[in-house]
Amino acid sequence: MIGKEELKEVEEVVRSQSLFRFYGPDARHKTDAFEAEYAKYIGTKHALAVSSGTAAVHEGVAACGIGPGEEVIVPPVTFIANITPVLLCGGVPVFADVEYDTLNLDPESVRKAIGPKTKAILPVHLLGFPADMTRLGEVAEEKDLYLIEDCSHAHGASLRGKKVGALGDIGCFSLQLNKVITSGEGGVVTTDDDAIYDNAVRFHDHGFNRFSESKAGPLGLNYRMSELQAAVVLAQLRKLDRIVGIVNQNAAYLDPRMEQLGLITRKVMKGSRPIHYSMIYYLPDDIKIDAGQFCELVRQEGIPAGQVYGGEPAYELDIFKTRATINRAGRPFTDPLNRFRKIRRCPVLEKALKRAVSLPNSTNYTSKELNDIVAGVEVALKRAPKGG
């Protein structure tokens, strides 16, 4: 949903001849406006716009002080950008299993994965469904751990009346092209904690906090957002509730029809309002092929379908097999402070990936296209081998 609103905001930036965000007490820029409106929307004291979703997660991990030898519990079904920031801070990612019917981190598996070096839990609100932040929060509080939310798929989702991004110590959002709202590339972090916010601000701007002083502080990077990115996403933010309403309305249309065909819908946790970023359905037991084979049957009917993250657990990614780095130092894998535990497989996830089918969702779908999806899946189910 990109149109005249985004063009208007971008034109204002171009006419201003100020494509960079200047800081100071008199600053009146698109980035400032976006941060203020986003913090209000999420319900947090602070929001900080950054250059990408990966930068946002890196901000979250760094702002919580994760360092060499310290472990962060991560989900085994996620994009690599949820894990690399932990490694780039010198930390050690540790995988915990998921709940089968939500694909989100299982709090009991998280509890069992915690060790003496664990410093944080990093749940992903996977494909728009909030993780069980109530139970994860209880574990984090009991073990004195940071709770870092990856909300990249879940702009506008909520749990018990609070938006994701306001449920942990810091929330990390992506604004990449395929996300719920977008600036092409971009990200944002949200927090109520003044100290974490100050760390994030400094980390994203070479150690400076230009909002309060001009003196450089600790080591930082350049993760600043440009005014052009901010202009686009400011217009997008003002459409967010409408976008969420459309994709959830699509889900309300598809879900009962898929259930009538025999597919199993993803569980919506009590008290949560998910965003149906993509549609996930589980194959019933009587379908005797796996999700990958079934998706091929659906694609033969002209309907895009795929396995969740290609049906591959994150711990099967090459980075954990080769431990390759761009430079020859090999860090953090070679850091003497790091003791990488042997990766424990996650059997619940591996089972779920064999049965979970992902179908796309879009604000642009018409009723005809939604019915085409249903018809394509119906044909695939008829062609799929079955057994008792």
pLDDT digits (tens, 9 = 90+) for 30-79: 999 999 999 999 999 999 999 999 999 999 999 999 999 899 999 999 99
Region 287-293: mean pLDDT is 97
CB 90 within 8 Å of CB 332: yes
Give the integer Cα–Cα distance in Å for 263 and 268.
15
Q: Output the six-digit token pair for 55.
A: 């930068």
pLDDT for 27 equals 55
Q: Which has the higher per-residue pLDDT, 21 or 307? A: 307
Dist CA 15 CA 24 (whole Å): 21
The length of the chain is 388
Q: Please give the radius of gyration of the chain, using alpha carbons only, rounded to the nearest integer.
A: 21
Provide mean pLDDT across the span 245-271. 97
41/209: higher pLDDT: 41
Instruction: Determine the Cα–Cα distance for residues 297 and 288; give it in Å rounded to an integer.
Output: 13
C-alpha 352/C-alpha 360 separation (Å) is 18
Q: Which of 388, 386, 351, 376 is nearest to 296 (CA)?
A: 376
- 8 A C-beta contact, residue 42 and residue 174: no
Sorted by where each starts, the structural domains of the chain and their CATH numbers stand as 4-239 (3.40.640.10), 241-311+347-383 (3.90.1150.10)
pLDDT in tens, 84-133: 999 999 999 999 999 999 999 999 999 999 999 999 999 999 999 999 99
Q: Looking at residue 383, what is its pLDDT?
A: 97
Going by pLDDT thresholds of 50, 70 and 90, the confidence category of residue 322 is confident
β partners of residue 272: 159
SS3 205: strand
DSSP 131-174: P-HHHHHHHHHHHT-EEEEE-TT-TT-EETTEETTSSSSEEEEE
Interval 331-353: pLDDT, tens: 888 877 777 777 889 999 999 99
Q: Which residues are catalytic?
A: 179
Q: Which residues pair with 265 in a beta bridge?
A: 281
Residue 148 near residue 119 (C-beta atoms within 8 A): no
Residue 23: CB atoms within 10 A of its CB come to 19
Mean pLDDT of the chain: 94
Percent of the chain with pLDDT over 70: 98
For residue 24, pLDDT beyond 60: no
205/315 Cα distance (integer angstroms)? 32
Give the separation between CA 83 and CA 122, rounded to whole angstroms. Answer: 9
Sheet holding 158-159, edge to edge: 162-163, 158-159, 272-273
Q: What pLDDT, on the 0 to 100 scale, is given for residue 344?
A: 82
